[in-house]
Amino acid sequence: MPAAVSQNPSLESLTSAFPLTFPVPTPTTHHDLVSTKDLHREEDLLRNPFSFRHWWTAIQNVKEASATEQKTEGPSDLSPDVAALLGPLSSPAARKSLQRQVYLYEAALAQFPGSFKLWKSYLQTRMSFVLGKRIQKKKAGGRKKFPEMREALEDEKEDLEQWEGGLDGVVGWEEWKLLIATFERALMWLPRMPRLWLLYLSIFNHPFCPPQVSHTHARRTFDRALRTLPPSLHGRIWARYLLWAEAKGGATTVAVYRRYLAVDPSVTERYTAILLAPSNPDPRPLEAAKLLLSLARKASRGEYTSPEGKSPYQLLGEFLDVVEQYAEEVGMDVPDTIDSNDKIAKAAEEDAAASRQPAESASVDGKLIRFAGPAVSTKDGKLIPPYDEDEDPRSPRKLNVEDIVRKDGLDVYKDQAGRLWTGLATFWIKRGEFDRAKLTFEKGLASVLTIRDFTQIFDAYAEFSESLISALMESLANPDEDEDEEDVKETEKELDTKMKEFEELMDRRPFLVNDVLLRRNPNDVQEWEKRVALWGENDEKVAETYTEALAIINPRRATANFHRLYINYAKFYEEGGTKGEAEADLDSARRIFDSATKVNFKTVDELAEVWCEWAEMEIRHENYDEAIRVMQRAAVVPKNTKVNYFDHALPVQARLFKSLKLWSFYVDLEESLGTVESTKAVYDKILDLRIANAQIIVNYASFLEENKYYEESFKVYERGTELFTFPVSFEIWNIYLAKFIKRYGGSKIERARDLFEQALEKCPPKHCKPIFLMYATYEEEHGLAKRAMSIYDRATNAVADEDKFEIFTIYIAKATSNYGLPATRPIYERALEVLPDKQTAEMCLRFASMERKLGEIDRARAIYAHASQFCDPRVHPKFWQEWNNFEIETGSEDTFREMLRIKRSVQAQFNTEASYLAAQMAAKQNGQEAEQEAAAPADAMAAAERQAAGGAKAPAFVSAKQNTNVRVEAAEERPAAAQGNEDEIHISDDED
C-alpha cells in the first residue's frame, strides 16, 4: 500500500536505483524476472533457440503483459517532482518491465545478432523507458526523395522527435550510458543501417540528454555516421547535424557549417543569417560579410543560384547592410583604405603596362616553341578564380569597402548607383569618419547618371548634414562640465562652417541636377540652355557655359534646336551680356555666326536659320549692306546644282542653296532694301533652282504687279502653272484668271478664252467647277450668251458627279432667264439621263413643276411616273404626296388608280431586306413609328399588298390580335383622310 504522505527521497537514493539493466538481468540474478506462468515460455525457447518467431512472440507477449500491469498499478507514492525526474521509470512495475524486456531482447540477440528488426525494436523499447513517450506528428503528403538542403532543413526541423517526460540526465545517468552503449553495440553489428544511425542521433536532441553526451560525443557520433554511411545517405545525416549545430551555437555552429559549405554552398545564406541573428551571443559580421560578398560575385559570374531566388544585386545589397550595421568590425579605417587603394592602383598600372608590351615571337629560327604560363586551376572544365582574401571567411583581414563597392557595385550595377553610394557613405558615418563620408557623397553626386540616384544621394547627404548641425546645436545647448570657453568657441565656429556648407549645398542643387542630366546626355541642348539660365547675370560663367557646350555637343547627335545655342551666344555679345550693361560686341557675335555656318547641323533649315539670324542682327544695327552681303554669301549657287536636298550623306553646307527658307528670307530682304531688278534676279534664281512653292509664285507676281509689271506678273503665273500640277496649280489659276479679268476685262476676250481653255485642259473633274463658273460668268459679262450656255453644257459633262446637280441647276436657271422655260426641256431630259438616282427624283419634281406651269399636264404625269421608279414610298413620302396632290387637283379616277398601282409595284420592288431596314432607319430619323417592326412577314409580296391596302384586308393566317390592330389603324386612317378634303371621292385601292 502506498504511503499516505508522499516521500521526497534524496538524490543519492534516487541514483542508487540505477543501473537497472547492467549487468544484464537474468533469472539467476533477478529471481522475479520469471514466474511460474513463464516456465512454459522458457521451455519453449530452450527447445527452439534458433526460431525467430518464438523469440518475437515471447517479446510481444511480455510487452503486452507489462503494459497491462502498469495500467492496473495504483498511484505512485512519489511526489510529482520526483516522478518527473524519474520519468517513465518512476513506478516499480515500469522498472521491472524494463528488466524483463531487456532480459528477453538480450537473449534473443545472442541468437540473432545481425537482425535489424530485433535491434530496432530493442533500441526503441529502451528509448521509450529513457526518453519517454514519443509524440507522433501528423504528416500531410509525402516527402521529396532528394530535396535541396534548404528544404531538407525545413522539413527536418518540423519532423524532429519530441517526447513526453523522460529520465533525468543526472538521476538516470547510468541508464543513459547503457542506452548509448546499446546503440554502439547495434552499430557494431549493423554499421550500414541509416535508420539505426538516425535513431541514435535523435537522442542528442532530447532536452534531458546529459551534457557529457550531447556535445562532444554527439559531434563525434555525427562524424562517424558520415564516415560510415555511403555519400548518397549523407544528406539525411547533414540535415540533423546542421540543426543540432544550430541548437548548440557558438564555435560548434561555425565549425560544422564551414565543413558543410565546403561541400554544398547552397545554405550559405542561412549560415549568414545565423551568424548575424540577434539571438547569437557571439555574432561574426566579418565572416558573414565575406560569405555574402563571395555569393554576390559567384552569382554575377553565373556560378551560384540563390535557393531563395535572390539576384546578385540583392546579395550585394545584403552585404552592404552588414557593412552598414557592423562598420567597425567589417571595414578598414581610412589610412588602411587609402593604402589599399594605392596598392590596387599600382597593381592596375603594372597590369596595363604589361599588356602594352609587344608579344614575344612564337618561333625561334623558324621552329615553333611552346609557351607555358602560370598554373591555372580548373573545375569541370572551367577556370577557378584565384584566391581572394576578401572571400575567405577564415581570414581575419578586414575589407576595403570602397574598392568592393566600386568594382562589384558601381562598375556592374550602374542603375543602382544611388543605393551603393549612400551605403558606402553610411559605412563611413558609422565609423565616425565624417569627412570621408562627405567626400563620398560629393563623389556620388558627381558621378550618377539618373535623377532617381541623384535624389537618393542628395537626400541622404542633406539628412547627414542636418544631423551634424543638430548634434552641434545640442552640444552647445547642453555643454559638458569639463568644456571650457575655447571648446565652446571652437564648436560654434564648426557649427557656422557646417551651416554655411549646408546652405551652399542647397544652393547647388539645381546645378547638380543639371550636371546629372548633362552627364546622361551631353548632347542635350535644352539642358545646356537651362545651365545658362541658372547662371543668371554672371556673364563670365554664361560665356564659359556657351563655350563648353559648343565644344562638347556633337552636332549629329544633338537634340532639337542646336543652332539656337549659337544664335543665343551671338545675341549674348550683341546685347552686351545678360544685363545689357556692356557695349555690344558685334565682332564677337559675327565670329560666332561665322563658326556656326561651318557646323554640320542635322538639317539644312538649322543652318539656314543661322544665316538668317546673322542677317537680322546686321539689320537691327542698320548695317543693311552687310546684311545683303551675308545673304549673298549664304545663297551662293554651286556649279553642280543636281544635288538631292534630302541626301543626308552630304553636309548641310552643300545643300544649303536649295533651302527655301533661306531664299524666302533673302527675297524679303531684297524687296525691302534692294532694287526691283535685284529682287527679280533672286526670284528668278528660286524658279531656276525649282525650289519655289505656290506662295513664292504668288508673291513674285504680286511684287511685279505692285511695281506695274503686269505682263511679267502674268508670265510668272504661267510659269507657276507649268511648274505645279493640280491641285496646287488650281489655286494659281484661280488667282491668275481673277487678276487677268480684273486687269483687262473684256478688252482681250480671245486671250482670256485661251487662258480658260488652258486651265480646263488638265483640270481634274473635282476642281473644274469654279473655273467653269468663272468662265461662263466672264462670257455672260463680256462675251456671248450662246458661248456661256455652251460652257455650262460642257460643265455638266466635265465636273464630278457630286457637283453635277448644282451645275444643272445653274444651267437651267441661266437658260430660263435667257431663252425661257421651254428651252429648259432638253436640259432637264439630259439631267435625268446623267444624274444619279438620288438626285434624279428631285430633278424630276422640278421638271414636273415646270411642265405644270406650262400647262403640260400629261407630260408632268409622265415625268412623275418616270421618277417613281427611284422613290421608295417609305423613304420618299414627299414625292408621293406631291404626286397625290397633283392627281387630286388635275387627274381623274383612272389616273388616280394608276398612281396607286404604280405606288404598290414600286413598294414591292423596294421591299427587300436591305431596303426595308433602310426604310425603317429613315422612318425613325423622321420621327415616324414603324408599326410592323415587331414581326416581319414571311412573304414579302403579301406584306407589300397589306401595307399598300392600308390594312383593309388582312391575311387569313394573321393572329386575331394583329388583325385587330390592323383594323384599328385602318379605322384611324379614314377619318384623317376625311378631314383632309371633305369633297374628295373615296376610291378603294382594291377596285382597280
Contact partners, residue 376, CB within 8 Å, separation at least 6: 383
Q: Is the preceding peptide bond at 23 cis, omega within 30 degrees of 0?
A: yes
Pure H helices in 115-233? 116-130, 149-159, 173-189, 194-202, 211-214, 216-228
Res 948: pLDDT: 46
Res 365: pLDDT: 60
3-state DSSP assignment of residue 134: strand
Report d(CA 221, CA 214) in Å as an integer: 10
Residues 842 and 872 sit within 8 Å (Cβ to Cβ): no
What is the pLDDT confidence band of residue 950, given thresholds at 50, 70 and 90? very low
Q: What percent of the chain has pLDDT over 90?
A: 29
Q: What is the mean pLDDT of the chain?
A: 82
Residues 132 and 173 sit within 8 Å (Cβ to Cβ): no
Least confident of 328-332, 598-602, 728-732: 728-732
Res 357: pLDDT: 67
Residues 776 and 768 sit within 8 Å (Cβ to Cβ): no
Res 227: pLDDT: 94
What is the pLDDT confidence band of residue 364, given thresholds at 50, 70 and 90? low
Res 925: pLDDT: 61
Res 979: pLDDT: 43
Residues 267 and 242 sit within 8 Å (Cβ to Cβ): yes
Report d(CA 190, CA 131) in Å as an integer: 23
Q: pLDDT digits over 65-114, tens only? A: 888 888 887 677 778 888 888 888 888 888 888 988 999 999 999 999 99
DSSP 568: H
DSSP 7: B
Which comes out higher in pLDDT, residue 420 or 873? Answer: 420
What is the pLDDT confidence band of residue 374, given thresholds at 50, 70 and 90? low
Res 956: pLDDT: 33
Res 983: pLDDT: 46
Nearest to 862 by CA among 874, 844, 879, 836: 844
Report d(CA 971, CA 962) in Å as an integer: 14
Q: Tell me the range of 136-140, 265-269, 426-430, 953-957 where mean pLDDT is highest.
A: 426-430
Mean pLDDT computed over 59-68: 89
- DSSP secondary structure string, 159-183? H---EES---TTTTHHHHHHHHHHH
Residues 847 and 833 sit within 8 Å (Cβ to Cβ): no
Q: pLDDT digits over 273-321, tens only? A: 999 988 888 899 999 999 999 999 999 988 888 888 899 999 999 999 9
Mean pLDDT computed over 915-936: 51
Which comes out higher in pLDDT, residue 713 or 938? Answer: 713
Backbone phi, then psi, for 378, in 5-degree steps?
Answer: -130, 155
Res 464: pLDDT: 92
Mean pLDDT computed over 219-232: 93
Nearest to 295 by CA among 269, 322, 263, 258: 269
Q: Which amino acid is at 827?
A: I
Contact partners, residue 112, CB within 8 Å, separation at least 6: 52, 55, 118
Res 870: pLDDT: 77
Res 921: pLDDT: 65
Q: pLDDT digits over 772-785, tens only? A: 888 888 888 887 87
Q: pLDDT digits over 603-633, tens only? A: 899 999 999 999 999 998 888 889 999 988 9
Report d(CA 857, CA 892) in Å as an integer: 12
Nearest to 665 by CA among 591, 613, 703, 620: 613
Res 751: pLDDT: 85
Neighbouring C-beta atoms of residue 635, cutoff 10 Å: 21
For residue 398 the three cell numbers come to: 578586414
Report d(CA 512, CA 962) in Å as an integer: 85
Q: pLDDT digits over 800-821, tens only? A: 877 888 878 887 888 888 877 7
SS3 helix, strand, coil % of the chain, rounded to 5? 70, 0, 30
322 has pLDDT over 90: yes
Which comes out higher in pLDDT, residue 181 or 949? Answer: 181
Report d(CA 770, CA 775) in Å as an integer: 8
For residue 80 the three cell numbers come to: 510529482
Residues forming beta bridges with residue 383, ordered by sequence position: 378
Residues 225 and 201 sit within 8 Å (Cβ to Cβ): yes
Mean pLDDT computed over 971-984: 41
Report d(CA 808, CA 799) in Å as an integer: 11
Res 109: pLDDT: 93
136 has pLDDT over 80: no
571 has pLDDT over 70: yes
Mean pLDDT computed over 154-165: 80
What is the pLDDT confidence band of residue 481, given thresholds at 50, 70 and 90? low
Residues forming beta bridges with residue 7, ordered by sequence position: 78
Report d(CA 849, CA 863) in Å as an integer: 10
Which comes out higher in pLDDT, residue 412 or 585? Answer: 412
403 has pLDDT over 70: yes
Res 113: pLDDT: 92
Residues 963 and 954 sit within 8 Å (Cβ to Cβ): yes
Q: pLDDT digits over 507-523, tens only? A: 999 999 999 999 999 99
Write down the pTM of the prediction: 0.68
Q: Is 721 exposed, middle or buried (0-12, 13-18, 19+ CB in 10 A)?
A: buried
Least confident of 222-236, 366-380, 955-969: 955-969
Res 427: pLDDT: 93
Question: Residues for the chain: how many in total?
Answer: 992
Res 990: pLDDT: 44
Q: pLDDT digits over 405-432, tens only? A: 999 999 999 989 999 999 999 999 999 9
Nearest to 232 by CA among 174, 303, 308, 146: 146
Report d(CA 788, CA 89) in Å as an integer: 136
For residue 438 the three cell numbers come to: 562627405
Q: pLDDT digits over 731-775, tens only? A: 888 887 888 888 888 788 888 888 888 888 888 888 888 888 888
Nearest to 608 by CA among 620, 626, 618, 596: 596
Backbone phi, then psi, for 78, in 5-degree steps?
Answer: -90, 155
Pairing of strands 363-364, 163-164: unpaired
Backbone phi, then psi, for 699, in 5-degree steps?
Answer: -65, -40
Q: What percent of the chain has pLDDT over 70?
A: 87
Task: Specify the long-range contacts of residues 70-75, CB closer than 8 Å, at least 24 apart.
Answer: 70/94, 70/97, 74/2, 75/2
| 250-261 helix and 234-248 helix, angle to the nearest 10 degrees | 150
Pairing of strands 378-379, 367-368: unpaired
